[in-house]
Amino acid sequence: MKNLLIYLKEYKKECALAPLFKMLEAILELFVPLAVAALIDEGIGHGRKGYIFGMVGLLFLMAAFGLAVAVTAQYFAAKAAVGFATNLRHALFSHLLKFSYTEIDEMGASTMITRMTTDIGSAQNGVNMVLRLLLRSPFVVFGAMIMAFTIDPWSATIFVMVICGLSVCVFAIMNFHIPMMKKIQQKLDKLTGAVRENLTGVRVLRAFVKEKEEIGRFGSRNEALLAEQEKTGMVSGLLNPLTFVVVNVGVILLLRTGAVQVGRGALSRGSVVALYNYMSQILVELIKLANLIVTINKALAGADRISEALAVNPSMVYGEAAEQTKTQTEPVIQTEQKTPVGPATQTEHGVPEDAVVSFEHVSLTYKGAGQEALSDISFTAGKGQIIGIIGGTGCGKSSLVNLIPRFYDATEGSVKVFGKDVKEYGKEELLSLVGIVPQKAQVFAGSIADNLRWGKENATEEELTKATEMAQAADVVEAKGGLSGMIEQGGRNLSGGQKQRLTIARALTGDKPILILDDSSSALDMATDKRLRKALYEMENRPTIFIVSQRTTSIMDADMILVLDNGTLTDMGSHEQLLGRCELYQEIYDSQKMPAASGFGSGSGEVRL
């Protein structure tokens, strides 16, 4: 929790004023029993009506002033707590966005959502209650004990015993309660994960009639959470009854002692009432303190989980962002000068001079995985080349292209972009060179133009239109009322194919020298897919394009095709070369062979159907 207090720095004034006003309120409360004692002894005991009215007026005045300072304290406490939560939420969200895919995979989306919502809410409530009650309640308890000593030292020893007994009970329960709260939050993570998974996959659940099974799975997790909450509730529920028992035993002893003292003439009746009021104040404050401890336990459990997330350092450290110059990127590639596959002029490091992307003995092992996802991959992609990547499910196609924008780091070897290791680039610098269309088409709530401008912030309407036409998404834009047409959250008002075309248009808007299409046409029909590939092939300044696909028709006219099998590069070459020598490629091609094959274009520039 200590490391989170930095987010309260700008609310130092509020953090000081809230407890200060609460202390003023507590001081007023401590003087109330004395006023009541004087009212009884001097006013009622001697029949002085003027004195009685004066003391009643004083009590009302103290009540009004107490209300004013209490409201003021609440205002400052609430302002500090809400500001703290806002700053913490912003810091945590910013930190989570710095995570590489490795940390995201390891932590999980559901636990990150829980920490952003439930845990921060608990921390906010904890700060609010601490500012209001953490100083006030102990001050009233010990203040009441001290005031009791000023009235009758013998009776005040009862207060000491009560406070000691309650302290033992409170701290013993707190010792058990905090670990239990952490377990509750962990089970809540699992429950949130189940809810998230079921809501995002509700169509699949209904298609396979799996509602009952998922309801059962959710129910078991919910029951586990309930059982843990019941155990925790039983422990925290002991606070109030124990507090009442101890204090009421103290009240009984106090009344008995007071009665004896009054009988002896050592105490007045007003003093006994004052002592009883002080004991009642202790009871009320300790009940508040007990509830405060429960709240603090929740806040501490949440704060620990937030601190854990903030303590996770992103595994990727980016190099210093260099100045963006034309010599770094050199994105302009003339279509007429299509780079042939084959030997090229080598640099002193053994990389072709025109190399855009090069893999040098690259291996990748995911954190916690038992075996390599990629093993000893080496190839070079030149300017304007189209690189097809094909293989069976789970062979490492997406893993390979994810290394180029550095979503994951290679565990062995190096990945270079324009001859420079991706680890030496600044994050923004590297991603300014790579346009990406991920496997899962994801669009966001807002206008179509807003979504497309993620690729290039200051893109003109003409550039957006050109990108949508090239991505075969012009009809989608027109159907939605133009570039200003609205997309609902998660693209609910779009089909799978429409989302894919818009994500391709978004990547093309950036006009970047490298374009990665990770199985991005899987939802497109064959005719649309053919038109898309033809448009990419005929781009005026064609980038180096990586196409991950399950279809041989999508990559058969690529300059070079990489064939992957269980994370290894089985073979690479042109379509014709692989048909003649690569058994795996032949099997994939034969399994998909249709009466009319489809491709990019033949050597003469004709697009095969």
Going from the first residue of the chain to its last (609 residues), give the mean pLDDT of each consecutive group of 10, the final group possibly shorter.
Answer: 82 90 87 81 76 85 90 92 91 84 76 83 89 84 82 80 79 76 77 77 75 84 85 78 79 79 75 80 76 80 84 74 40 36 39 78 84 90 92 87 90 91 88 87 88 87 90 89 87 86 88 88 81 86 89 87 92 91 89 56 39
The CATH number of the domain holding residue 131 is 1.20.1560.10
d(CA 114, CA 413): 37
Quick one: 498 and 517 in the same domain? no
- Render the burial of 145-178: b for 16+ CB within 10 Å, e for the rest: bebbeebbeebbebbeebbebbeebbeebbeebb
Q: Which of 294, 293, 298 is nearest to 181 (CA)?
A: 298
d(CA 203, CA 441): 17
Domain endpoint, select from 242, 277, 311: 311
Quick one: 376 and 396 in the same domain? yes
Domain endpoint, select from 292, 311, 330: 311
Task: Tell me which H or E stretch contains 573.
Answer: strand 568-573
The CATH number of the domain holding residue 381 is 3.40.50.300
Asked if residues 387 and 447 have their Cβ atoms less than 8 Å apart, the reply is no
Q: Is residue 607 part of a domain?
A: no
Q: Which of 609, 607, 91, 3 is nearest to 304 (CA)?
A: 3
Quick one: 453 and 532 in the same domain? no
Quick one: 127 and 8 in the same domain? yes
Can you spell out the DSSP letters for 88-138?
A: HHHHHHHHHHT--HHHHHHH-HHHHHHIIIIIHHHHHHHHHHIIIIITHHH
What is the DSSP secondary structure assignment for residue 49, as one 8-state letter?
A: H
- How far, CA to CA in Å, does 527 sit from each of 509, 554, 556? 23, 11, 16
Quick one: 114 and 211 in the same domain? yes
- Render the burial of 126-138: b for 16+ CB within 10 Å, e for the rest: bbbbbbbbbbbbe
Quick one: 377 and 486 in the same domain? no
CA angle 125, 131, 137 (to 5 degrees): 110
Can you spell out the DSSP letters for 146-166?
A: HHHHHH-HHHHHHHHHHHHHH
d(CA 601, CA 515): 19
Compute φ and ψ for 569, nearest 5 degrees: -85, 100
Domain endpoint, select from 261, 295, 311: 311
Asked if residues 314 and 256 have their Cβ atoms less than 8 Å apart, the reply is no
Asked if residues 124 and 303 have their Cβ atoms less than 8 Å apart, the reply is no
d(CA 251, CA 159): 9
d(CA 434, CA 455): 10
Strands (E), 316-419: 355-364, 374-382, 386-391, 412-417
Quick one: 476 and 586 in the same domain? no
Q: Is residue 599 part of a domain?
A: no
Q: Is residue 605 part of a domain?
A: no
pLDDT of residue 352: 53
Structural tokens at position 331: 């994105």
Q: Is residue 483 part of a domain?
A: yes
Give long-range contacts, CB 8 A cutoff, 24+ apart: 266-270: 266/152, 267/151, 267/152, 267/155, 268/37, 268/40, 268/41, 268/45, 269/40, 269/41, 269/45, 270/36, 270/37, 270/38, 270/39, 270/40, 270/41, 270/42, 270/45
Q: Is residue 207 part of a domain?
A: yes
d(CA 183, CA 230): 12
The 3-class secondary structure across 294-321, one letter per residue, is: HHHHHHHHHHHHHHHHHHCCCCCCCCCC
pLDDT of residue 156: 78
The single residue listed with the structure tokens 């994801």 is 442
Quick one: 323 and 441 in the same domain? no
The sign of the torsion formed by the CA atoms of 494, 498, 499, 503 equals negative
Task: Tell me which H or E stretch contains 35.
Answer: helix 12-38
pTM, full prediction: 0.63
pLDDT of residue 84: 92
Instruction: Report the largest interatomic distance among the alpha carbons of the chain, rounded to a whole angstrom.
Output: 120
Q: Is residue 604 part of a domain?
A: no
Asked if residues 357 and 544 have their Cβ atoms less than 8 Å apart, the reply is yes
Strand partners, 608: none
Quick one: 117 and 238 in the same domain? yes
Domain count for the chain, please give it: 3
Q: Is residue 601 part of a domain?
A: no
- Render the burial of 55-82: b for 16+ CB within 10 Å, e for the rest: beeeeeebeeebeebbebbbebbbbbbe
What is the DSSP secondary structure assignment for residue 352, as one 8-state letter?
A: B
Quick one: 495 and 525 in the same domain? no
Q: Which of 224, 233, 231 is nearest to 193 (CA)?
A: 224
Could you tell me how many residues make up the chain?
609
Asked if residues 258 and 272 have their Cβ atoms less than 8 Å apart, the reply is yes
What residues make up the domain containing 493? Answer: 437-511
Asked if residues 363 and 374 have their Cβ atoms less than 8 Å apart, the reply is yes
pLDDT of residue 244: 77
pLDDT of residue 252: 83
Q: Is residue 181 part of a domain?
A: yes
Quick one: 35 and 165 in the same domain? yes
The single residue listed with the structure tokens 């248009």 is 505
Asked if residues 166 and 286 have their Cβ atoms less than 8 Å apart, the reply is yes
d(CA 205, CA 306): 33
Strand partners, 51: none
Quick one: 410 and 556 in the same domain? yes
Compute φ and ψ for 426, nearest 5 degrees: -75, 155
CB neighbours of residue 574 within 10 Å: 16
Distance of CA 262 to the CA centre of its chain: 64
